[in-house]
Amino acid sequence: RKKVTLGTLRSLYKKGEPITVITAHDFPSAYVGDTAGMDMILVGDSLAMVALGMEDTSEVVLEEMLLHCRSVARATKAAFTVGDLPMGTYEISPEQALETAIRFIKEGRVQSVKLEGGKEMAPTIRKITSAGIPVLGHVGLTPQRQNALGGFRVQGKTSKGAMKVLEDALAVQEAGAYAMVLEAVPAEVAALVTEKLSIPTIGIGAGNGCAGQVLVQVDMTGNFPPGRFLPKFVKKYGDVWGESFRAIEAYRDEVKTRQYPAPEHTYPISKDELEAFQR
Ligand code: KIV
Ligand code: NA
């Protein structure tokens, strides 16, 4: 498969072919995503919850993100890679954001960075892109701001709210982002925003009118214990947790009953050597 570049993404967008994006947080999850033909792989700060067991994304620190980015980068041969700037590493000033973005490229080994925010982040996006680092925007629901938003709520549900999403999206585009994540907005609003833009929207909980889609890999593969809350927009395409659980239970039972290891799982020794040893 040919390496996906910004040029590839642009031509997919021009053709109207949806851009496929999935998150990954380590070598195996990136390897499978890349091999399965994803156009982009995002090292989302959602790894705080799905890989590190944290309560929300505000807890994950820069060094942790960089470690996970490096492992993803090693596995990703074709997909275009994105690292998610964690809370606290880019909001203070465009200079702080550029410093962080440079670390993602140099140490994280990803090809672009993502940051949350609309209008107010335009100078920051401009600063990073002017240094030659592609930026993926993120508007609509921005989880790092959950406390200010009053939780994980759908954005753009009123005409005023929808106008804010559109203005944010236009500002992010104007600032030089190559695409943007559009999270948790009504499908009609997302479709209209997508129509008004000249760069791709990557939807999550934003309906079918976006230029691409992104999902968190552990959500869509079903790699989580039963009973966990799933947002409405997630489609569970697999049962990775169930399959792992079944395999580990079978292993446990076979060890307890001495069915495993069987003779075919052991190394041979010649009769002569064995007799000499036994003497
Ligand atoms: O952190 C993440 O996984 C994300 C995507 C869901 C867009 O930001
Ligand atoms: Na994120």
Strand runs labelled E in the chain: 19-23, 40-43, 80-84, 112-114, 135-140, 179-183, 201-204, 212-215
pLDDT of residue 211: 98
What spacing in Å lies between the alpha carbon of 255 and ligand 2's midpoint? 41
| Residue 26 DSSP class | S
Question: Chain-wide mean pLDDT for the chain?
Answer: 97
Which ligand gives the minimal distance to the CA of 203? 1
Interval 125-133 mean pLDDT: 98
Nearest 5°: phi and psi at 201?
-100, 135
The complex's ipTM?
A: 0.99
The CB of 141 under 6 Å from ligand 1? The reply is no
Query: Which protein residue has the closest C-alpha to ligand 1 atom 4?
Result: 44
pLDDT of residue 182: 98
Q: Kindly indicate the confidence band of residue 150, based on its pLDDT and cuts at 50, 70 and 90.
A: confident
154-196: pLDDT as tens digits: 999 999 999 999 999 999 999 999 999 999 999 999 999 999 9
The CB of 214 under 6 Å from ligand 1? The reply is yes
62-88: pLDDT as tens digits: 999 999 999 999 999 999 999 999 999
Q: What is the pTM of this model?
A: 0.96
